[in-house]
Structure 1
Amino acid sequence: MSTGHELAQVNIGRMLAPLDSPVMKDFMDGLDEVNAAADASEGFVWRLVGDDGDNATGFRFYGDEWLIVNMSVWTDAASLKSYVFGPAHRPFLQRRREWFEHLAEAITALWWVPAGGRPTVQDAEKRLTLLREKGPTAASFTMRTLFEPPA
């Protein structure tokens, strides 16, 4: 059943070292494979890519050159969860502390967008800020506290 909405997600990470450093090598070497798995996943709609049509590591978040952003749109939360905890992405998730600082505040936010809508990095900054300030609401929430799409 289509609701006329799709699920947008953003997650950020503060790198421990520059992208071209030995610390980040395994992360960068696996990024194309992980992105290709997302692109091929059931329920995948769109992901933020750079001008070269590749990964989005050139985007900055909150104006911080050490924060990188991942943003995508999915048909539903179940599809997103299946990918995030699936065989291609889970190993990256398990190794995230090798590449990224532990941040005390929220680093992932979800929200509903009209079908066909593509969020901007600025939209994502607003949603993550809202989640950090207000906690989960229908406007910005987490995988643990999901909200239904608007009627």
Structure 2
Amino acid sequence: MTERQTYHLAELNVGRLVAPTDDPRVAEFMENLDRINGLGKRMPGFVWMMEGSGEPGTGNTENSIGDDPQFVANLTVWEDAAALEKFVWGTVHKQFYDKRHDWFDILSDQHFVMWWVPVGHRPTLDEAMKRLEHLREHGPDETAFGWAQLDQAGMWRDKRCTHVAAE
């Protein structure tokens, strides 16, 4: 373990689907959730993922935000930024990331946040939403931050596509 390994990296990604989960407009996304989530879980450095019901094809979409079932959240924990970055931009996940504008509304507010958690801690969706709100209100700091605040992360600069929808 490295010096930083007393902490792991948590991330929350919030998106609003353009249609209900059973709508043909989001079918390709829904049909690939289990495959992409399964890939993430097999990646070196993966630690934990907030789960839905376990029903095939539902992924984490049951973890909706507020009263809008189309607002969904993905909450994961990784050993470090390199592991998360490799999954996001170094696997087939990148192909789905590039197509996110097909399935997700463009959000005007910040919708992605990261923060360090003690090894073994599993953040709740409520905790993660508070981190996101902190980032929205105060900007990046040690409590909540984005890719640009991680000196050790670099793939995101080169591999991300234009900022159009849920990251």
Question: Is residue 88 of structure 2 the alignment partner of residue 81 of structure 1?
Answer: no
**Counterpart selection for 1:5 from 4, 7, 12:** 7
Question: Is residue 122 of structure 2 the alignment partner of residue 141 of structure 1?
Answer: no
Is the Cα–Cα contact under 8 Å of residues 18 and 104 in structure 2 kept in the other structure?
yes
TM-superposed CA distance for 1:66, in Å, is: 2.1
- C-alpha RMSD of the superposition: 1.7
Question: What is the letter of the counterpart of residue 97 of structure 1?
Answer: H
Task: Give the fraction of aligned pairs with identical amino acids, expressed as a percent.
Answer: 37
Match of 1:43 in 2: 45
Return the structure number with greater helix share: 2
**C-alpha distance in 2 between matches for 1:62 and 1:110:** 21
Question: What is the letter of the counterpart of residue 127 of structure 1?
Answer: R
Is the Cα–Cα contact under 8 Å of residues 62 and 69 in structure 2 kept in the other structure?
no
Is the Cα–Cα contact under 8 Å of residues 56 and 70 in structure 1 kept in the other structure?
yes
Instruction: List gaps (5 residues or longer) in structure 2.
Output: 153-167
Is the Cα–Cα contact under 8 Å of residues 106 and 132 in structure 1 kept in the other structure?
yes
Match of 1:19 in 2: 21
Match of 2:63 in 1: 59
Q: Which SS does the other structure have where 1:73 is aligned?
A: strand
Deviates more, 1:10-19 or 1:46-55: 46-55
Taking structure 2 as the reference length, the TM-score comes to: 0.83
**C-alpha distance in 2 between matches for 1:17 and 1:109:** 24
Assess, with a 3 A threshold, how the Cα gap between structure 1 residues 119 and 143 changes in structure 2: closer, same or farther.
Answer: same
**Counterpart selection for 1:70 from 55, 60, 74:** 74
**C-alpha distance in 1 between matches for 2:70 and 2:141:** 28
**C-alpha distance in 2 between matches for 1:91 and 1:83:** 11
TM-superposed CA distance for 1:146, in Å, is: 2.3
Instruction: List gaps (5 residues or longer) in structure 1.
Output: none
